[in-house]
Chain A
Amino acid sequence: MLKAWRAYKALNEEQKQIIEQKQVRLVRPVDELIDLLKPIGDMDKLVPSGCTVGCTLFIVVAAAIGSQIGAEAINAPGWLRVVTLLILAVLFVFPIVMYVKTRKIDVSDNLRGALLPMLNVLRDDFDPKEGMELTLDLRQPMAKEKLLREEKPRERMTETFYSDAWMSAEGVLVDGSKLRWSIVDVIRHRTVTKKTARGKWKTKSKDSKKCNVDAELTVRNKAYEVSGEAETGEKKSTLTVSRTIKLAGVNATDPKVILEVIAELFKRVEPAK
């Protein structure tokens, strides 16, 4: 937690502003985008999950109980018990305070799990002198602002849908072609309440998502021969592709899945002979 906070403090003002706003539009060469966003991704890796904080609190409570039992057993003086409890109280409050603080600086895992790997892979394809336009929404995929609808398909089952349009990008490639893509994840959070054989009520939840990738490529007719469906103009042709990929969980989308859709466009063009 402290590491995450220190990493946040080490960021520059622009990076801190990106974390604060979470919805940003950036226009600059791809190398500069990587330089700007990578430290944010590195910091995000250090932000603890709710589980880590829960475990820490559990350990502190267990230590408090254990210390009191131990103190009783050795007949420790009262002041020692009070000091021990005070230390443990601080250790209990500290992770909660840090969790609240670091939750504010937590950004969507899509940044370090999908976007940064994609930029690293595509960095040499984009014209280094041209600015790449990147629109990002780094709020958590299941933030309440992204709530789409709630359904009750059957009794004791709730399905909550979220729409996460977390990235769109556009840029000029080294050969002068133009590439743009946008990604919208539709997340389904399903909660089912069941009665077990022992008569206890248990609630289980499961997440899945559909990753919608739309990509568009504009190439010069003199340089490329286009096969398949395309909008062909006098000098340029535009190819489009839309794919929906079903994925389990709400983890960051595998960059390979997105790049496969983009590569589909390039499979439909051949260098002109």
Chain B
Amino acid sequence: MRRIAEDIEIRAREELFINIHPIQPGGRLTPEAMKALISYGDGYSTCDWCQKPFRLDKIRRPPIDEFHAELAEFLGMDEARVVPGARRGFQAVVSSIAGPGDFVIVSALAHYTEFLAVEDAGAIVKEVPLNEKNIVTGENVARKVEEIKRETGKLPKLIMIDHFDYMLGNEHDVRGIAKVAKEYGIPFLYNGAYAIGVMPINGREIGADFLVGSGHKSFASPAPSGILATTKEWADKVFRTTQMVGDVTKRRFGIKEVEMLGCTLMGANLIAMMASFPTVRERVKYWPEELEKVNYFAKEFLRIRGNAILSEMPRKHTLTKVDTSKSFDIIAREHKRRGFFLGDELRERRIIGEFLGATRAWKLNTYGLTWDQVRYLAQAFQDIARKYGISVD
């Protein structure tokens, strides 16, 4: 196949294979987003019609200002900004709220970028343990708040919890946690990296003070892209504008937002996000069908003797951790290709995205597959099992 440049190959895996990579499916582009990349790829392409007050979210052509307003409404929040990835959303909130020596509560399954955002602000991470079902509950968060209060004499500055975690794709009790946060008067950051853009999410309904989403994980957008939304109460703090004055030139840049470092997500990434938005707005309504498909897959996958699912069941998310240590891993131990045999067999059936070489615990994601593709996928695993003498009930 031809190359884009000398050493850059064309990426056609989404056209050629069923891709079950755990974190890629929600960020797969819509055709509209692909067209946006073709048309708006040049560097400052969003700045053609930028006029006073010279800020990205105020641009009217293309209607970036309108998109921001609609995005906030879609998420049930008052203000929204686009950011270069969810991590920049965490960073903006944490550095606005916490400082050196402050505590920030995160989940025991928190993404590493939440740790980094806290560290960047000089604050300290405190993890909430999971319950026996690998869920973060409001009760455990309250216990952690009490523990911090008892040990340090102060309350944490922020509670930052993922709705669905990246390890198991389990749903955590964000509503219960929001309630606890409110009782203690601690702001709550809802991490919807695996939720916003694939399922209906309303921040007001959840009781969140901040919502953070990922464009490239769940909003059919290129990387990096993300969303930070908040309420009227917090907008002035997180989206505060610069007060700085140059000592020599006396220059001020009044309208620029400090945490956003001025304009945030420019060019093709933003336009692609905007182009995907109408589809995203529609597709979240079909989340129950996505769950039907993943639960169908799980049922078929479990028919293979020895297979297990490590994520909560029934599935409430399409990202799922499976355990094949008592099925495919037994084959891998004797196979000349070791753990890579499973990938070889999948690839032969035009399926990719599994963790290369893994045959014990690994993750997959069925989001966005058609029913035909989900059935094909389930059948492929069963065919491989039969080929190697593993029984299928």
A binds B: no
Question: Which residues of B are in contact with A by a Cβ distance under 8 Å?
Answer: none
Question: Which residues of A are in contact with B by a Cβ distance under 8 Å?
Answer: none
